[in-house]
Structure 1
Amino acid sequence: MLAAGASAELTDNISFARLDVRRPLDRFSQPELLAQQSLALVNGNHFRARQQLVILDPAKPLDKKLDRLTNVRALLLPEGVTEVPAYLRAHLAAANVPVLYLADTAALAELVLREWHAAAPPLRGLVLAGGRSQRMGQDKGQLAYHGQQQQRAYAAELLAPFCHDVHVSCRPDQITELEYAGLRPLPDSFTDLGPLSGLLSAFRLDPNVAWLVVACDLPLLSEATLSYLVQHRQPGRLATTFQSPENEWPEPLITIWEPASYGQLLRFLGLGYSCPRKTLINSDIELLAPPAAGELRNVNTPEEAAQVRSELGTM
């Protein structure tokens, strides 16, 4: 098709899809195409990378390229090579760099996997509490199910053991009351998008972390269930979430959203979809069966709140 003058050709194979385009890819298009990838291997002879795996090929000495070796993670010995050159040992003297045989693919794969896990983005916590709570008739975040503690504070307390810090998404008019309650408000910088407002506002604050998100209307949620979610996190996927017991769809309001999801959420918003669940359904995610399905129950009306208080014995 390209030879006949077409500008693009899409091949949908059984095991892969491929897009060939005539126009050159600009520096913004290339990262966008690879946005869902958690690991990229590049040819260090032509491109720079944050970390390096160095193959010690005697025919291609590196003494003129030491400025590119900024964070060497391993030295790889091809067949017939047994020594690390003196100039390279001197350059890496302060670093404890492992030396592996290039043919030992199992050891190399183990090293790459270990480095990948170590580089997983840190977790920050977000309680979604900026809604108008119209069906409840009052702010759901201010309701108390566990003694006198308001639900938004209870949710923040649940998140704290797993996160570097915890924010509470809110409308601008809620900032003062949240600060007075000892919570850390994160006012919506995206507005009128429902839960997506808080999620996008969190990523605008810090796009390089994963956000562990819970809604404020989940009074039955336990630390054990959140621990299960964190333990089964898959940073290489867009998100890690639970399957809703009601309809088997992803539950977007108890989810670990990885940094790559920021662009995906914005892309779906540009297509006219402001529902985070829509993004999850159409993305590569880790979908878990909840260990305690009843804990995922949302409380949206006074009748539901009374029922939960009865179950908890806090009438």
Structure 2
Amino acid sequence: MRSALLIAALAFLAAAPPVPPAADAHTRVSLAVLRRDGVMLPFASYDGSWSVPWPLLPTAIPIALTDVPKKWWGAPGPDARWTAWIDDDDPRPLMVRTPEVVRIFCERRLGVRTDYAGDPYDPREPTTPKDGIALAGDAAPLPITRVSVNSPEARALVAAITDAFNEEEKLASRRFTRWRHPYQDAQRKAYPIQLEAVYRAHERTTRGEWDVTFVEAVRRFPPGPKDEGCGLITFAHGWVRQTSGKTPDVDIGARVTYCDREGVSFMQPFGRLHLENEAYWIYQLSSWRDEWYVVARLRPRESRPIVVVNGGACPQ
């Protein structure tokens, strides 16, 4: 009897479809900025949540790739294949070769030398241009569109941000304790707002469908008698979220400075990722003295940095 039951059980198991192994619920991704000199700087990893496993500059510098601790590579692990994503070019395989310490502004950072070689650049500059991102794991970046500042939609964008620009400019002008803006609020409004950069994408997740735009805009003022030809400006940047049929949600900040743009940061977008029904933008923010690598989470009414890594800086 026992033998008959065993034979029947084995026959049932043989006829039943195989049970697949438990699926990994999370996409695994690691990101790095890819410099024009071929060095990549890992800065973020995703495995259901974001983390920063790669150190800026460890006390003990690895000599070879085999010396790099496994956890530094993030969720995909040390054996994952890396791919270069550069603007609109086709993705290309990226071979990682050896750890390398590089100088960025006044600091040093640990990167990884790859087989990528970009166009010539001036090595005397305080930082090396970024050509794109490197990605390890099972995801592919989506594009971010650069919109002409002379296009009709850009002109409409100026109208959409004007009230927020004026309000943020007023707040920025009052942050100084021993200095007063030479132009009153009403006088400042007489000078035009000019767009300098517009980046846009259409996002769709389970939270909704919307357009998101990152804008950089400036208002210039004539130089004063003591300005040595370099007048004041108001620089503003930030997000505009637009859901069909609703008023644009404008989320920008402003800074009052001079035309040399001391302390002003500019965006260089690298691409977008959709991971587990969340939309993310990947980009660099850089000024004349520092740079930051950012992953921001975008929702219909929110744009929030999730990962912010200092790529290097010089003291003020």
Structure 1-normalised TM-score? 0.25
Q: Judging by fraction of residues, say which structure has more strand.
A: 2
TM normalised by structure 2 equals 0.25
